[in-house]
Chains A and B, each alone.
Chain A
Amino acid sequence: MIIAERKPMKELLEMVSNVRRLLVVGCRGCVAVCSAGGDKEVSILSAALRLGVKKAGGEIEIDQDTLVRQCDPEYIDPLNDRASKYDAVLSMACGVGVNFVADRCPDVNVLPALNTTFYGANLSSGEWKEMCAGCGACVLHLTGGLCPVARCAKSLSNGPCGGSQGGKCEINPDVDCVWQKIYDRLSGMDRKEELRQIMPIRDWTTSGHGGPRRRIREDLLP
């Protein structure tokens, strides 16, 4: 799931300081699940903005809505028709949603309400952790399902660096050393011999360093 978090109120208030009529649009996709941009958050943010603008001596009219997803055209395209009523649309989707609105709705002045942070999992209520970097060249079968690209501070490929101590990463004692975990896991599965293999230098083209990525499936094309 894509994890996001709301931008600081100060930044948002600055963003809408010249906006008289605003539409706050949430998304019922990932950001709703990670409690960043669903129905509830849309209401909270709208109320907060009204108060904030008023407190600053401004005036604003805010309408709110939450779309099923902001990454599919059928949900987004109607925004085009509604745009004339608003000075701006504040999207509470991830960066994908904001981009998609901007791509498809030429008349809509779309603003981001969230910072999109990472691909992660929900560890417990209120805690999410990065698990995948979307590098496009998965090696998880070699590492016991634990990703060194996303979860090692230096994205090492061949085992823990000298800063691994007591299962923790040297950059922060709250961060686990993923290579320690990989070692433990493969040891448990009696596979630690596999770690003697040198993982060759990576091809980063798939991870965005080869330019914006795109995927096409011929069989599904209209």
Chain B
Amino acid sequence: MNINWFKYSSPQTFYPLAGRMIPWFAWIAVIFAVIGLYISFFIAPTDFQQGEAYRIIFVHVPAAWMSMFIYMVMAGWAALGLSLNARLPAMMAQALAPTGAIFTLLALVTGSFWGKPMWGTWWVWDARLTSELILLFLYLGFIALQSSIDDPRKADKAGALLALVGVVNVPIIYFSVKWWNTLHQGSTISMGAAPKMVTTMLLGMLFMALAFWMYTIAVALMRVRCIMLERERASDWVKVLLLKATGGNA
């Protein structure tokens, strides 16, 4: 079991490896999404308080989970890139940011579309909503900062610092419903307590979250390949790659 991890940490070996992994994650995402949607709409019962409107939970909660989870993974890659002074982890962090931003936006908008019929308002400045909005700005700030610095290695370092400072916001989002009295309802699932909902509802959310997770891996791998090509287009491995795939798809 002697795997040479350093071999895979260079872009020229990771590029084709990522290319082979993408279809697998994409298909697993599709399968999980089909199961998740089926449970969400046909198995999970009507909520006795919220009627059918509650079904927004099956996109809202998984999107919100992913928005926080992707940020933590992104910050982890950024920290690794910073401490090892390595290219690939920094590229991974950069590849995750747009997907994280999309899930944050989806969590906010679907939350708004759930809040309107249930609370009677699209938006309130309460702790949960405000800290999630700050998360969106952190993602957008990270993307803007990286693209505003021409030297990619300097951009990686600046981005990593911003990502790491922003990590404090994630526990604030997570615990905001406990720490402050908010309009947002309490945690749907909390560690150490029995879930307050029907098992099928829980399963629907779980499968949707898994689908989003697999989707994120697939799309981030696609994006990291783009970043590699953009940054290293002058290097020999890209030339070799293009020669090998003349006429075909690289």
A joins B in a complex: no
